[in-house]
A = this chain, B = another copy of it.
């Protein structure tokens, strides 16, 4: 079943997601604050909209991919011309932004008062996943909303997972990325200690993968140059998931820890390391470049 879709937010993630929707036969109206981004979407086959309001005129589904909870709230609820007032009753709103769960819940509550379906559906998988259509969507919403959104999301990703009620998608993503940060930091420091003691990083990585130290980083994202092909470590830590985005996600995780009085000592320790790496001037490198923080530097 093909749908009329409005897509708001056409950055590095949004554009390839639009491309995959169009590839799947959907009609897409595209809008972004940057006119050039709209042009790019138009070249992919989307209809250019001059405003968010214009984009949603015929929309059965609205997808947003923004940066902050404030932007999401402003777009749909509290901004100059809030979108929720312009949507046809029964429309489905899918917010793919990674934001705080509180805003996701509040936006969902507002959606309900307008007779709209809303889910929070932050993604995992990065730009590469967006381009390949292999993203993972972590969804918060009712079972019916989840079921309704699944066909559309499947067009852009490989896995569509239901975390729970509204906000649960954001919460689960915060938990996951906090754990990812912990694993990346722990893997960097274990590999670095091995290297400092004369172990071969490839051999040590293989041993830990076959033992209880196994994790996603060792499997897909080894931080030591020369161990894996096609990972950021093989390309000078360019591309991938930037240090400053990991810091942003860890900010959200720390906030979630605060509001729920949950102790997060390991997440906080990992965050401190990514922050130290960030202020040392590496915020635009891939997050596996954290290895550099541990390595011995030779100074004259």
Enumerate chain A interface residues (CB-CB to B < 8 A).
Answer: 101, 124, 136, 138, 159, 161-165, 168, 171-172, 174-180, 182-183, 185-187, 189-194, 196-200, 203-204, 206-208, 210-217, 219-221, 247, 251, 253-254, 256-258, 260-273, 275-276, 278-281, 293-299
Residues of B with C-beta under 8 A to A266: 182, 185-186, 189, 266, 269-270, 273
A294's partner among B211, B279, B299 (CB-CB below 8 A) is B279
Residue of B nearest to A244 (CB): B261
Most buried by B among A189, A275, A281: A189
Give the number of times this chain occurs in the complex, counting copies.
Answer: 4
* With known contacts A175-B190, A186-B183, A281–B263 Cβ distance under 8 A: no
Given the complex, which residues of B lie within 8 Å of A175, measured CB to CB? Answer: 190-191, 193-194, 199, 204, 208, 213
18 cross-chain CB contacts under 8 A? A161-B207, A168-B197, A174-B193, A175-B199, A176-B190, A179-B213, A179-B215, A182-B182, A182-B186, A185-B265, A189-B267, A193-B253, A196-B260, A212-B220, A215-B215, A251-B258, A261-B296, A281-B299
Contact B254 A263 (CB under 8 A): no
Best-buried of A197, A214, A220, A257 by chain B (most CB within 10 Å): A197
Known A200-B164, A260-B193: A294·B276 in contact at CB below 8 Å:
yes
Contact B262–A294 (Cβ < 8 Å): yes
Residue in B211, B257, B272 whose CB lies within 8 Å of A193: B257
Chain B residues near A191: list those with CB within 8 A: 175
